[in-house]
Copies of this chain bind each other. A is one copy, B any other.
């Protein structure tokens, strides 16, 4: 469904958000540990999230990553997915046709575009804050 990079990105963002709700800043090391992700790969992804304006990074000792409540509210999951994976999951053909042309539909067109639309609607309507709250309260988890 999503790339590993994208899964790590969402997990990392939610972890940063839940800590920011408690006014804590987290390091890459903390993030990788808490989300069971490879640390160096996670570091790369944090750079992308920072450049994409999803969160803030603070350099130097005592540095790390943090989010404002505004960012948490403004950031929908679909934005993170698009930032890391592009829009293929939202616009791509279920059967892999290079170009989606409704006048020349693939056999799965009707049924697939319905489900794809539901996925997009779900990710469009879910904010980082929505999910970070449950995480902060210990109701949900980011690693097994």
- A binding-site residues for B, Cβ under 8 Å: 1-2, 4, 7-8, 10-11, 14, 36, 77, 89, 92, 94-99, 101, 104-109, 111-112, 114-115, 118-119, 122, 126, 131-132, 134-135, 140-144
Contacts and interface: CB of A to CB of B under 8 A. Distances in A.
A10 B111 contact: no
B4 A96 contact: yes
Given A1-B1, A122-B115, A109 B11 contact: no
Given A10-B95, A108-B131, 15 more contacts: A1-B1, A7-B94, A11-B95, A14-B107, A97-B141, A99-B144, A101-B144, A104-B144, A105-B140, A106-B140, A107-B134, A111-B126, A112-B122, A114-B122, A115-B119
Contacts of A77: 108
Nearest to A10: B95
Nearest to A118: B115
